[in-house]
Amino acid sequence: MAVSARRSTGAFEGWIEFRSFHYEGHDAYSAELRSPDRQYLNPILAGFYPDPSIVRVQDDYYLVNSSFAWYPGVPIFHSRDLVNWTQTGHVLDRPSQLPLDGAGVSRGIFAPTIRFHNGRFYMITTSVSGPGNFYVTAANPAGPWSDPVPLPEIDGIDPSFFFDDDGRAYIVHNGRPPANKPLYSGHRALWLLPFDEASGKVSGPRLLLVNGGTDIKKQPVWIEGPHLLKHDGLYYLIAAEGGTAEQHSEVVFRSKTVNGPYEPYAGNPILTQRGLTESRKDPITSTGHADFVETQRGEWWAVFLGCEPYRDGYFNTGRQTFLLPVKWVDGWPVILGAGQAVPRIVNRPELPLSAPPRLPTQGTFSVTDEFRESALPFEYNFLRTPSEPWWRLAAKQGSLLIRPRAEDLDTVHNPSLIARRQQHAHFAASVELNFHAGDPPSDAGLVAFQNETHSFFLGVRVAEAKNGEARSGRTLFLEKRNGAKEDVAGAAIPAPATGVTLKIEGEGATYRFFYRLPGGAWSQFGADQDGTILSTKTADGFVGTYLGMFARLRR
């Protein structure tokens, strides 16, 4: 994808040049982490990394997350100590694997599960706006992964593989209740399907494992995210229950045989933050959707999702990945006892320490991308699957070139947007925007994007030439979408300027916007803005805020 570093007008004709994207975020608990060789900080994957699933292969650990309508799909991480995680790629990184055109931002890929068996990795998931349930395989978790294998027998979501030690394999999943007759709103069930590894297909009828949840008489809702595991000769079925908001939880069932019957643990839920006082300091909420892993030293650990509201249930960072030890109590696994809050600082697993990753995933950090590689770093995503090459990297000069197109931020198609996650409630993101005579009539700049109807856009406008005259000067603008689109501020940029640096800062619910001309100082642009419009409490959906570079043609 590399392009020439020529500085002539022709090299940039029709493209917008971005340089030096910088992100920094502050976590108040980083200063309290006194012994990083003995402790770690939660969350381990900060920002929009929901629905974690984990697997160990000898001394190596691999973790995947949901990606919804962002492309490439299903980020995959590697670690050797369960604390320091390095992204090695995406499972679904080819357009043929992941058609997303027309999908809303909170559609697409739900709840992947990663497993390893007989020398191959398996990732199974649901594309709720595409082919439905499917799985892919790979010999190397960094890829390439196979084309999707459809599983039309599954009528629900959240499938998970289980490979028993007798050579048999199964898929457990969320589905409709028996006879497709829900007894109440949110009534779902967990089902088991036999799977033939040799043919790669479902090999028999499904079997009901759990109807409704832990106690159907109490009308439990949204039993989902199931995983099967085996410990000391017994089968354990863990699952999320209660929905993905503050009532979210993780529950467990146990059976002597894989087919059941499964009895619920009397101490359920084994993880939840519901019922804790809302006034507690820096709360973590909505915990659940866990997966377990046993280390090579016999410790058990759980990864799970949770949220960090900055106030009143508002959070812009999405659902994040946390890590806690699992304790076995009277033959049952427990993550946290009733009434216990998720700790921010935890003692590390008994594993050799790994070197910190190039891109930190937790705590306070800053990172700058100079775009000098031949490919975009893995942390950048596109909104839905690109169908044409509208971006280029000029690695020698350190530039990312984006071609503006007609697709706006409210589209359900693929706009000219390249973005990365907001990973902290307190953050700053900035990028340089260079001007060229060949820039088309367009709007280009920096966005904070939650979904099609909720975003901020700090940009530079190049007007269309009129009556054969030269194009007019550039205009700085701030645009907000909170349902409808609104122009918040505008100002002319002095004609001699060769570029501008744009910056978005967030302090919880307050977002501020800045610009800096070459050789000048930062100036705030427009008044402070209400950042709660980027929270799912306002915007709805399941994703977190993205920050990135966007360009559109003038309509």
| Residues forming the active site | 51, 224
Residues 306 and 320: beta-carbon distance below 8 Å: yes
Residues 50 and 318: beta-carbon distance below 8 Å: yes
SS3 71: strand
* d(C-alpha 173, C-alpha 192), whole Å: 7
CA 37 to chain centre: 27
* d(C-alpha 98, C-alpha 72), whole Å: 8
The token pair that represents 252 in the structure block: 């467990």
SS3 313: coil
Residues 258 and 167: beta-carbon distance below 8 Å: no
One-letter amino acid of 527: A
Residues 5 and 396: beta-carbon distance below 8 Å: yes
Query: Which value, to the nearest 10 degrees, does the dihedral of the CA atoms of residues 87, 91, 92, 96 take?
Result: 130
Residues 155 and 176: beta-carbon distance below 8 Å: yes
* d(C-alpha 56, C-alpha 58), whole Å: 6
Nearest to 80 by CA among 100, 56, 112: 56
Residues 312-316: contacts with CB under 8 Å, at least 24 apart: 313/246, 313/285, 313/537, 314/509, 314/532, 314/535, 314/537, 314/538, 315/425, 315/535, 315/536, 315/537, 316/422, 316/425, 316/450, 316/506, 316/531, 316/534, 316/535, 316/544, 316/545
Degrees to nearest 5, angle at CA 74 with 168 and 174: 50
SS3 248: coil
Rounded to a whole number of angstroms, the distance between the first and last alpha carbons of the chain is: 28
Name residue 395's beta-bridge partners. Answer: none
* d(C-alpha 145, C-alpha 158), whole Å: 20
Residues 542 and 535: beta-carbon distance below 8 Å: no
The token pair that represents 538 in the structure block: 């306002």
Residues 157 and 144: beta-carbon distance below 8 Å: no
* d(C-alpha 119, C-alpha 553), whole Å: 49
- Number of residues that make up the chain: 555
Nearest to 70 by CA among 104, 44, 45, 46: 104
Residues 61 and 80: beta-carbon distance below 8 Å: yes
What phi and psi values does residue 258 have, to the nearest 5 degrees?
-65, -30
